[in-house]
A and B are shown apart, each in its own frame.
Chain A
Amino acid sequence: MLKIKVNGEFHELEVEPDTPLLWVLRDHLNLTGTKYGCGIAQCGACTVHLNGTPSRSCSIPVSGVLEVDIVTIEGLSKDKSHPVQKAWIKEDVPQCGYCQSGQIMAAVSLLAKNTNPSDSDIDNAMTNICRCGTYSRIRKAIHSVADAIESKA
């Protein structure tokens, strides 16, 4: 029996220890907002936060995150009210939407560390793949969150 903490809640699981966190989230906990895109930590669709760090859950065995605070897209807010979610809505970012959970989780981490990222900061942090090509609006949305933080400060 393994015990993990996801979005503030503890879960006890009967699962092989080498099962990637992604599949524990999706198939055991029914947290399907985190997506499978490549399985080799290339595309970022499975991005979650491990103690606040953006991590590709498809390539992390569940046995490696037992003492870790795991946050998924479902844990970001209860009502789409996280500033990054609001910016995504304002800029109408998603197209098919499949990669957007991962994009948002990556953007949240970036903005937590760097409240005013430059374009090249965004290029370096946002390595998630989007086949619909929503990149320009993602960049715009990230800048708009930064602007909002700025105006509050």
Chain B
Amino acid sequence: MEKVSRRHFLKTSASVAGGMMISFHIPAQDFSQEKMIGPVAPVISSELNAWLTIDPDNTITIRVAQSEMGQGVLTALPMIIADELEADWRDVRAEHADVNRSIRQAGVYKRMLTGGSGAVRISRPYLQQAGAEAREKLIKAAAETWRVSSQECYADYGKVHHKPTRRSVTYGDIAGLAAQLSVANVKIKSPEDFSLIGLPIPRLDTPEKVDGSALFGMDVRLDNMAYAAVQHCPVLGGSVRSFRFNAIRNMPGVIQAIRFDNGVAVVAETWWQANKAAKALPIQWMIGDEGKTHSETFRNEYLAALGSQGTSVLTQGETLPALEASEKIIESDYLVPYLAHASMEPLNCTAHRTDEGLSLWLGTQDPESALAAAAKLAAIAPEKVQLTNCLLGGGFGRRAHTDIVEEAVQIAMLIDRPVQLIWSREEDMRSGRYRPMAAMRFKAGFDLEKQVVAYTNHSVTHSILRDLGAPVDNGIDPTSVEGLSNMPYEFSPKSISHTIKNTHVSSYWWRSVGSSQNAFAMECFIDEMAEATKTDPISFRKKYLVDRPDMLDVLEELKEKSDWNKRLPSGTARGIALHECFGTIVGQVAEVSVNDGKAEVHRIVSVVNCGNLVNPSIAEAQIESGIIYGLSAALYGRITIEKGRVLEDNFDTYHVVQQAQVPVIETHWLLSGGDKWGGLGEPGLPCVAPAIVNALHKITRRRIRSLPIGDYYLQRA
């Protein structure tokens, strides 16, 4: 990664400085020329397919069409290709695939959107295929060179070997010829033949992340680059009435102010100058009724809406008469707030308009949408937009949006210099697009034998799809009911209904999406049901997990690994939660105590079944990552709206977990194999809040039904 991306970047910057057409294709992609030249020139690398090139010195560069935002795709996805390729892993480098090429070549990189825990889950089969095809081309090239049958040759550790004569040739020596060959009907390996998949190989991007050389969007430096900062309307949905540029015109470094619908950007020689001027810029805003809204009002409105009927998502049998006939009924309302993503790297995008088109540098989860949005604003063909996808300083869903790109392009269209737009942390947090607010109501009826005889659930959720303009005409946003509509427990009769309720606040994908709030409510209510029947929470879950041996296995393993039945010191308790999302089942047990009115989480034990995994070290890091992200949300996460404005604007008000709050984290794999390759970026998160809350109930005997937990002063019962 390092070598190639650096070379890449320097080449790009040099081109920009020279005002020439920018090309960030490395020579490898120009292999048509190579054929004309004949003998392979020493610096020319050979492209075996869109996914990989091989240099004469055997360096293999693998293109990764998913964005590296910490989840390890620059290592895990090359491992999948290199495994089939029978590469010597020491030769492998990785770089982000070129989105412009994917657009020009009919989606050659297939899925470039990074999200839905889908990097391995979705792209694995075609990456294996790409690696296998390249391997067969190399074998065929060697066989042709030796004038022997391909059948007598095999590939291993970066060489092709001829069995009968024990000759061998390195990939670098035959890549030029192999690149000109075609192969058909190539078969991929059986899992028992994997050579790299399954090994805890160190990440390729680690070395450049320990010396400051890793290139994030904000680290792009171009000749003659200016910087921009922005002040957005503090009330989401408001717009600019007027602003007084004269008030800041003479501040140091200030070049220009550029008006957007919802804010004003100030361009200056350095970002500090730009941001200082943007903050000082007097702006008159047009603010509608949004300016009168408050979180408290939203909460009341959401809870009130729980009383409406909603749209049926799933109905089995008649719940009303069943509830009426119940011996005992329990009913609970749950509530969660909007949440910010708060990636460590505030949003930024560098843009430069040239005679030939437009160049963009940023870290994005959705390079295709970014490119399309830029092309539309610049009124040029998408092919004329070059986008360099840098490393992402966190994404968590937020970096799939194109808002930052649109602003950068609007600035670039008016300035004859490259411009780097950076949102200050305050702008990043206040102008965020948040995890939806939601309220959920559950009812359960029990008979005399404490059997569940009725179950109903109604959720009222801010719809992401509606915010995005996607059709939700039937009244259901499926992403809002993830985990509720497909809950694993067999309760009958049951009724699951939903109401979409949006406010002026913008919502967006947030790590684990609907599961982030629904698993909390659902798994806490399951514990309430267990308590109503005086049953152990694990036993209760097992009883209603019919035809889910996979989930039963996770529970059984979790019971053992978490020491579920072992005594804890007084004032400490264990809570459990179980959830499936993105193809992966996670069971978690949290060990919690209460100190000074606050929850202290000591240990989180997970059992995970994702079927198969590529790299256990990266996989473990992903589960831990989801847990810490979920822990921040459970303990502290809250975006508050007051007079339409977001109150939290930095880490002093939007608290997140620091080292001192990190529990002991133990992750155990219970891999069922087969065709299951579940996602890992998100499934670690949803169980955290309910496992903690279920444990706290044992200590306090009070049910927490809204987040964050930090809102409550906790006391031992």
Interface size on A, residues (CB 8 A): 58
B628 at the interface (CB under 8 A from A): yes
A98 touches B345 (CB 8 A): yes
Measured between alpha carbons, how far is A86 from B664 in the docked complex, in Å?
Answer: 24
Stretch binding the partner chain, chosen from B84-92, B490-498, B655-663: B655-663
A95 touches B270 (CB 8 A): no
A39 touches B660 (CB 8 A): no
Shortest CB–CB separation between residue B494 and chain A, in angstroms? 36
A6 at the interface (CB under 8 A from B): no
A132 touches B70 (CB 8 A): yes
B71 touches A36 (CB 8 A): no
Shortest CB–CB separation between residue A4 and chain B, in angstroms? 15
Q: Which residues 213-242 of B have a CB within 8 angstroms of A?
A: 213-214, 216, 218-219, 221, 227
Measured between alpha carbons, how far is A134 from B297 in the docked complex, in Å?
Answer: 37
Shortest CB–CB separation between residue B574 and chain A, in angstroms? 20
Of A37, A134, A137, A139, which is within 8 A of B346 by CB? A37
Residue of A nearest to B632 (CB): A131
A93 at the interface (CB under 8 A from B): yes
A30-58 contact mask (Cβ, 8 Å, vs B): 1 or 0: 11111111111011010000000000000
Residue of A nearest to B253 (CB): A16
B628 touches A133 (CB 8 A): yes
Give the interface residue-count category, chain B. 35 or more
Measured between alpha carbons, how far is A129 from B342 in the docked complex, in Å?
Answer: 11
B70-94 contact mask (Cβ, 8 Å, vs A): 1 or 0: 1110000000000000000000000
- Provide the residues of chain B in CB contact with A85, threshold 8 Å: 210-211
A96 touches B391 (CB 8 A): yes
Q: Given A40-B650, A137-B621, A94–B344 Cβ distance below 8 Å?
A: no
- Provide the residues of chain A in CB contact with B422, threshold 8 Å: 36
Q: Given A27-B227, A30-B221, A94–B205 Cβ distance below 8 Å?
A: yes
B203 touches A122 (CB 8 A): no
Q: Given A131-B396, A136-B662, A32–B71 Cβ distance below 8 Å?
A: no
Q: Given A122-B659, A134-B621, A139-B659, A27–B344 Cβ distance below 8 Å?
A: no
A63-96 contact mask (Cβ, 8 Å, vs B): 1 or 0: 0000000001110110010000100110011111
B669 at the interface (CB under 8 A from A): no
- Provide the residues of chain B in CB contact with A38, threshold 8 Å: 425, 650-651
B706 at the interface (CB under 8 A from A): no
Q: Which residues 159-215 of B have a CB within 8 angstroms of A?
A: 202-203, 205-214
- Provide the residues of chain A in CB contact with B262, threshold 8 Å: none
Of B216, B227, B392, B658, which is within 8 A of A129 by CB? B658
Measured between alpha carbons, how far is A98 from B393 in the docked complex, in Å?
Answer: 5
B69 at the interface (CB under 8 A from A): yes
B216 touches A98 (CB 8 A): yes
B211 touches A132 (CB 8 A): no
Shortest CB–CB separation between residue A145 and chain B, in angstroms? 13
B202 touches A89 (CB 8 A): yes
A116 at the interface (CB under 8 A from B): no
Q: Given A37-B425, A38-B425, A99-B344, A133–B625 Cβ distance below 8 Å?
A: yes
A8-40 contact mask (Cβ, 8 Å, vs B): 1 or 0: 000000001001100100111011111111111
Shortest CB–CB separation between residue A128 and chain B, in angstroms? 8
A101 at the interface (CB under 8 A from B): yes
B391 touches A97 (CB 8 A): yes
Measured between alpha carbons, how far is A11 from B617 in the docked complex, in Å?
Answer: 42
B434 at the interface (CB under 8 A from A): no
Measured between alpha carbons, how far is A102 from B271 in the docked complex, in Å?
Answer: 20
B252 at the interface (CB under 8 A from A): yes
A43 touches B211 (CB 8 A): no
Measured between alpha carbons, how far is A129 from B396 in the docked complex, in Å?
Answer: 16
Measured between alpha carbons, how far is A20 from B216 in the docked complex, in Å?
Answer: 21
A33 touches B345 (CB 8 A): no
Shortest CB–CB separation between residue B622 and chain A, in angstroms? 8
- Provide the residues of chain A in CB contact with B621, threshold 8 Å: 92, 95, 134, 137
Of A42, A76, A136, which is within 8 A of B651 by CB? A42
B206 touches A88 (CB 8 A): yes
Residue of A nearest to B212 (CB): A33
Measured between alpha carbons, how far is A45 from B218 in the docked complex, in Å?
Answer: 13
B206 touches A89 (CB 8 A): yes
Q: Which residues 82-128 of A have a CB within 8 angstroms of B?
A: 85, 88-89, 92-101, 104, 122-124, 126-128
Residue of A nearest to B227 (CB): A27
Q: Which residues 601-655 of B have a CB within 8 angstroms of A?
A: 617, 621, 624-629, 632, 650-652
Residue of A nearest to B211 (CB): A80
- Provide the residues of chain B in CB contact with A97, threshold 8 Å: 70, 205, 208-209, 214, 216, 391, 393
A130 at the interface (CB under 8 A from B): yes
B157 at the interface (CB under 8 A from A): no
A88 touches B210 (CB 8 A): yes
Measured between alpha carbons, how far is A31 from B211 in the docked complex, in Å?
Answer: 11
- Provide the residues of chain A in CB contact with B221, threshold 8 Å: 30, 32
Of B72, B212, B272, which is within 8 A of A74 by CB? B212
Measured between alpha carbons, how far is A135 from B629 in the docked complex, in Å?
Answer: 11
B533 at the interface (CB under 8 A from A): no
B343 at the interface (CB under 8 A from A): yes
Measured between alpha carbons, how far is A100 from B628 in the docked complex, in Å?
Answer: 16
Measured between alpha carbons, how far is A136 from B359 in the docked complex, in Å?
Answer: 39
Most chain B CB within 10 A, of A26, A28, A36, A45, is at: A36
A92 touches B271 (CB 8 A): no
A146 at the interface (CB under 8 A from B): no
Residue of A nearest to B344 (CB): A98
Shortest CB–CB separation between residue A139 and chain B, in angstroms? 7
Shortest CB–CB separation between residue A49 and chain B, in angstroms? 13
Measured between alpha carbons, how far is A35 from B70 in the docked complex, in Å?
Answer: 16
B424 at the interface (CB under 8 A from A): yes
Shortest CB–CB separation between residue B302 and chain A, in angstroms? 27
Residue of A nearest to B658 (CB): A127
B413 at the interface (CB under 8 A from A): no
- Provide the residues of chain B in CB contact with A19, threshold 8 Å: 270, 272
B344 touches A45 (CB 8 A): yes
Measured between alpha carbons, how far is A138 from B659 in the docked complex, in Å?
Answer: 9
B625 touches A95 (CB 8 A): yes
A92 touches B206 (CB 8 A): yes
Measured between alpha carbons, how far is A54 from B651 in the docked complex, in Å?
Answer: 19
Measured between alpha carbons, how far is A101 from B227 in the docked complex, in Å?
Answer: 23
B394 touches A98 (CB 8 A): yes
Shortest CB–CB separation between residue A129 and chain B, in angstroms? 6
A interface, CB within 8 angstroms of B: 16, 19-20, 23, 26-28, 30-40, 42-43, 45, 72-74, 76-77, 80, 85, 88-89, 92-101, 104, 122-124, 126-139
Give 9 pairs: A residue, B residue, CB < 8 Å, sorted on A.
Answer: A26-B271, A32-B218, A36-B425, A37-B344, A37-B425, A94-B206, A95-B72, A98-B216, A123-B660
Q: Which 3 A-B pairs have the closest CB atoms?
A: A33-B212, A133-B628, A98-B393
